[in-house]
Amino acid sequence: MPEFTSHIQETPSWAELTTSDYQGDLTFCSALFGWEDEANEMSPGMYYHMQKLRGLEVAALYQQGVEEKQQGVPPYWKLYFTVDDIRKSSAQAKESGASVIFGPMEVFDAGYAVILQDSQGAVLAL
């Protein structure tokens, strides 16, 4: 697996699984992909599970929130796309029919992220 230190603009750069059964998905991803789990507590009882392959971070998963469950949102993979200017790209997405679900927000040492929903209902992140 190649190791990336940067990503080409406007291409996928990260993936997260929002799941209703994180234990089941941890077992599934470990068996299928050989991923190793590193659980990071974000708040009491809330964990962000960093998935690693040969010591490299490849994806993450976390327990779906109560609000999404109540709305009947099924588990889903969220892709993050690399952009030069998150505010400019967010504005362009809104002009193209997307709505901002959350953000922009600071994401540790990774910079900023915004969660969008396109005009067809698909969720993505920048």
Distance CA 67, CA 86 (A): 26
- Closest by CA to 115, choosing from 92, 81, 125, is 125
The one-letter amino acid at 79? L
Distance CA 31, CA 79 (A): 22
Report pTM.
0.80
What pLDDT does residue 9 have?
73
Which domains does the chain show, CATH number per domain?
Answer: 13-77 (3.10.180.10), 81-126 (3.10.180.10)
- Closest by CA to 22, choosing from 57, 56, 54, 69, is 69
pLDDT per residue as tens digits for the range 38-58: 999 988 988 999 999 999 999
Can you list the positions of beta strands (E) in the chain? 12-19, 36-43, 46-53, 56-63, 76-81, 99-106, 112-117, 123-125
Whether residue 21 has pLDDT greater than 90: yes
pLDDT per residue as tens digits for the range 69-115: 888 888 999 999 989 899 999 999 999 999 998 888 888 777 788 88
